[in-house]
Amino acid sequence: MKFRSTPPSEFADVDVVVVPLFDDKRLPAKGLTRATRNVLERIVAESVSAKLYEVTTHFGEKTGRVVAIYAGKRAEYVPERARALASAVVKSLWRSNAKRLAFFVAAESIGAEAAAQSTVEGVTYAMWRPESHKSRPEERRLPKISEVTLLVDGDVKAAVRRGEIVGDAVNLARRLANEPANLMTPTHLAGEARELATKTGLEIEVLDRERCAALGMNSYLSVAQGSHQPPQFIVLRHRGRGGDAIDVAFVGKGITFDSGGISIKPADGMHRMKGDMAGAAAVIAAMGALAKLKAKVNVIGVAPCTENLPGGGATKPGDVFTSMSGRTVEVINTDAEGRLVLVDGITYVQRQGARRVVDVATLTGAIQIALGPYFAGLFGRPAAFVEEVRRVGTAAGDRLWPMPLTDEYREDIRSDIADITNSAGREGGASKGAAFLDAVVDAGADWAHLDIASTSWSEKDRPQSPKGPQGPAVRTLVALAERYAE
């Protein structure tokens, strides 16, 4: 895919011209031929009851293919809508032979750079499809678009480049989460991370079972006991400003398949648990994006990866393990395994010197009940850091909702026979999961926990993405790291 930008009056020789139509019915002032303007004026006059993201296509001898997409109120045009508009347009062209696309960028509300980056991201998102294992090419529905010209005044080359990098990173996270568990084992995921590191210049280290045991990661390793697949603790480093200091650390849950272990899940929907490593995918993809962006910030990203399966050596409900932090953990429910791997990941990055930590995980079904598929849950401390993550993440395009984490939840996870227990009842389950992680966060550290179980997968097509893995949190992690580069 090739992107370029040019003033609206200078484009030519494309297969499709795309124009967003707003409620004010104002068309682009420059760049439209008389014939194309006449067509759009007729579409505007007939679109009295048009719905947001509705696409109208016109074919004409003088105009070629013109695609108009209803964009709602101009005042509501924000980056997320710009992404969704671009994605919806590309989705409408999946079955066409169009290869070259010219897109009028509405820059008035959010500025040319934000509008250009968001449009590039949106196009990139729509170029990914989940049907990667269909045997017939026509069933994979891969679009033929190879060149996109953004029609916008001003120099937006840097924004276009950033949109490509971030868009590709989100698609990488989606691809990793979409792979079936037999093709995305911990070893496969470590291989993907190594390949990314080679391409981008990231430093990588993968700790095996023996190394993890020597470091005292017994909580993480307890989850791996039932699987024949060896655990892989992936460590990626981006040294954008040199030195050993760490500006921010990312920890991603990497359960490449979650059966629930001895506390086995119901069969219905268990196949979706191939995506229980979406947090790890987000961290790996974000680290690659930061390296490509040459962000002047030092970041460490870790992904504790394993399968969670029943077996002769599997953890049993009631077992007790000592985590890397020294905290003892009573495992009441082996299906609450994500927190068991994350606590050792959090402790690891803190031992490396991180004082600012963000973890990402498909942690609880409770967050899905609380927020539905629209927001990820946001927890952490102190409040100022949580608000910063919310603000940066929202601006980047991830919808985050702050959730409570108080001493009552911390009291709930106290164990009768160990320090903490990994399961303490259904009520407030998302906050209790966060409280478990909080138990190993150092005093005075900045920490945020993103529970993306609600947003990692969509059961229906959306304007900005098809059904399947959504790649949440990647944009938040990239933007947050860049925030500390400032």
Sequence letter at residue 453: A
Q: Which two three-digit tokens encode residue 164? A: 């490509």
382 CB-side CA count, 13 A: 5
Neighbours of 29 (CB within 10 A): 8
Neighbours of 76 (CB within 10 A): 12
> Which of 232, 253, 131 is closest to 185 using CA atoms?
232
Sequence letter at residue 415: S
> Which of 196, 397, 367, 372 is closest to 280 using CA atoms?
196
DSSP for residue 153: S
DSSP for residue 265: P
Which residue is listed with tokens 């930590």? Answer: 357
Whole-angstrom distance, CA of residue 343 vs CA of residue 307: 17
The b/e string for 80-112 (b: 16+ C-beta within 10 A; e otherwise) is bbbbbbbbbbbbbbbeeebebbbbbbbbebbeb
Q: Which two three-digit tokens encode residue 327? A: 């905290």
- Catalytic residues, by residue number, are 265, 339
- Cβ–Cβ < 8 Å for 238, 299: yes
Whole-angstrom distance, CA of residue 130 vs CA of residue 175: 8
> Which of 427, 111, 130 is closest to 275 using CA atoms?
130
Whole-angstrom distance, CA of residue 303 vs CA of residue 177: 14
Whole-angstrom distance, CA of residue 8 vs CA of residue 376: 38
DSSP for residue 402: E
